[in-house]
Amino acid sequence: MKKIILSLLIAILLPLQACAQETWKEGTHYVIVGDEATAKPEILEFFSYWCPHCYQFEPLVESIKSKLSDDVDFTKVHVNFMRFTSSQIQDEATRALMVARALKQEDAMNKAIFNYIHVQKSTVAGIKDMQNIFTVNGVEPAEFEKLSASFGINSMLQKNNKTIEQYRKYLSGVPNFIVNGKYQAKFAPGMAEKDFVDLVVWLTKQK
């Protein structure tokens, strides 16, 4: 009986796997950007707080996260090459993101920064504006100042920017998703938002 059930499961799963491989095509839905996949599955989301598309994409990001296996790392990489403001100010925003990550408040502060720029239509002119956002959301000014100037946050900022440099030639715009260090997901014409979510999740399982 067990053999019969196993045979039935295989008969069901194999067509589903073949269907997924047939649905997502290299060159149309994703491109190869690396020779080898990372040892551990990961997603790098390159984004900018000033980018309206990134702001609108946040619900999809949450949907992607909700469907990932526990062994998949999801990391937001804040870029500094957008033309909305100077690269220095963009780096200060990255610094604020690293502070939020260190405080384990990344999701909440991420929403607050997006809201400040896109809903409140407020201007970010430097790290002080970022500090004010954190203060309004319960982070003590002294704690923010100490962390933002720390060696650890400086190292995290440098790592963020090295990741940008590593994939810069593939980043014509944001949001942009690099999966397993090898695949770049593409929002192909005719794709629904759910399709893109499924594509990114599927890519995490590819070697």
Task: Give pLDDT tens digits for 49-96.
Answer: 999 999 999 999 999 999 999 999 999 999 999 999 999 999 999 999
> What is the span of the domain harbouring residue 65?
26-203
Residue 126 predicted with pLDDT over 80: yes
pLDDT at 11: 41
Question: Is 162 part of any domain?
Answer: yes
Question: Is 10 part of any domain?
Answer: no
Residue that is written with structure tokens 């599927």 in the block:
202
pLDDT at 192: 95
Question: Is 152 part of any domain?
Answer: yes
Question: Is 11 part of any domain?
Answer: no
Give how many domains the chain has, as a whole number: 1
Which of the residue ranges 15-19, 106-110, 183-187 would you say has the lowest mean pLDDT? 15-19
Strand pairing class (176-179; 73-78): unpaired
Over residues 4-22, the mean pLDDT reads 44
pLDDT at 22: 61
Task: Give pLDDT tens digits for 32-55.
Answer: 999 999 999 999 999 999 999 999
pLDDT at 19: 46
Residue 6 predicted with pLDDT over 60: no
Say which CATH number the domain at 136 has. Answer: 3.40.30.10
Task: Give pLDDT tens digits for 141-182.
Answer: 999 999 999 999 999 999 999 999 999 999 999 999 999 999
Question: Is 8 part of any domain?
Answer: no
Q: Both ends of the chain: CA-CA distance in Å?
A: 34
Q: What share of the chain is helix, strand, coil (3-state, %, to 5)?
A: 55, 10, 35
Asked if 28 and 188 touch (Cβ cutoff 8 Å), the reply is: yes
In whole angstroms, give the CA distance from residue 4 to residue 19.
23
Question: Is 18 part of any domain?
Answer: no
Give, in degrees to the nearest 5, the angle at Cα 82 between 154 and 65.
Answer: 70
Tokens of 131: 């500090």
* Nearest residue to 180 via CA among 59, 32, 48, 28: 32
Residue 76 DSSP SS3: strand
Q: Looking at the chain, how many residues does it have?
A: 207
Residue 1's pLDDT band, with cuts at 50, 70 and 90, is low
Over residues 21-32, the mean pLDDT reads 89
Question: Is 59 part of any domain?
Answer: yes
pTM over 0.75: yes
Question: Is 38 part of any domain?
Answer: yes
Torsion angle, CA of 95/103/40/159, rounded to 10 degrees?
20
